[in-house]
Amino acid sequence: MSPRSTFSIARRVCATVVISFLAGASVSAGSRPASLRGRDTEVTLAMEPAAGRPDPLRLDIRVRDLAGLTGDSLRRAELAATYVLSGVGIDAVWVLCTPDHEEPRCADPGGPTHVFVSIVAKPTEGAFRSRPRALAIAAVAEGAQGSRVYIVYERVEALARESPEVGASVLLGYVVAHEIGHLLLGSHSHSATGIMQARWFKRELHQVATGGLLFTPSEHIRLHAALLARIQQDGAR
């Protein structure tokens, strides 16, 4: 797999409820992880206070792992995504939805402040077959239900093999954060720098390994405003 893997977004209404992936979050947006580097076995999360930032906004993320990842791999992905999202004032609250860990929230279709992430082992949907470089697809829900993200783990692993510095589970977390960026910023939200670049090469993989592939300052403002609007919409229901 070439490092020129592309993220794509399909803007559509999801009529079916697709429930998704990880475990309860222990890192909140009130404290920013100071570093997240190395391969899967070397993830460290030193904490530093997030001074001078607005109050974090909550985003509920429910994850269904259909790729058979280990609990440790899911945890590393969660920590990586939380690290990126906390930098833009998003307090990610994770819920793992599996047959072994099913709770009432997993059956709830959610609302504007909910994201459902499904991880599949191989591309099975037609949308992925027509996009051979796509690691993931984000589907923006119109109306009351939560939005969806679908990720092909096989492609994430292939991209991770392009760099000896990056483990697939940490890279998975960055993919989740990138797709959440699409959900909040819109379908035409790729950028020339940072995590919202359409293609990630070895330079970007190095930034993942060192914790430097993040949202830009302008994206920070737009993400915060978009999530705040969703929170207000959710409160008006």
Residue 202, C-beta contacts closer than 8 angstroms, at least 6 positions apart: 3, 162, 163
What is the reported pLDDT for 127?
A: 66
Per-residue pLDDT of the chain (237 residues; tens, 9 = 90+): 334 444 433 333 232 222 233 333 334 444 454 444 445 444 444 334 445 556 789 999 999 999 999 999 999 999 999 999 999 999 999 998 876 766 777 878 788 899 999 999 988 766 666 677 789 989 876 655 679 999 999 999 999 999 999 999 999 999 999 999 999 998 789 999 999 999 999 999 999 999 999 999 999 999 999 999 999 987 655
Give 134-154 as a DSSP string.
EEEEEE---SSSPEEEEEEHH
- Number of Cα atoms under 13 Å in the Cβ half of residue 169: 23
46-49, Cβ contacts within 8 angstroms, sequence gap of 24 or more: none
**DSSP class of 122:** S
Distance CA 143, CA 105 (A): 19
Cβ(138)–Cβ(178) below 8 Å: no
- The predicted pLDDT at position 59 comes to 96
Q: What pLDDT does residue 61 have?
A: 95
**Domain extent for 55:** 5-235
Tell me the whole-structure pTM to 2 decimals. 0.79
Distance from C-alpha of 144 to C-alpha of 123, rounded to nearest angstrom: 28
CATH of residue 33: 3.40.390.10
Which amino acid is it at 179?
Answer: E
Number of independent structural domains in the chain: 1
Q: CB atoms < 10 A from the CB of 38, how many? A: 16
pLDDT, position 157: 97
pLDDT of residue 96: 87
Kindly state the helix (H) or strand (E) to which residue 78 belongs, with its residue range. helix 71-86
Task: Indicate the length of the chain as a whole number.
Answer: 237
Amino acid sitting at position 106:
C
Contact present, 141 and 182 (Cβ < 8 Å): no
The two tokens of residue 157 are: 């692993």
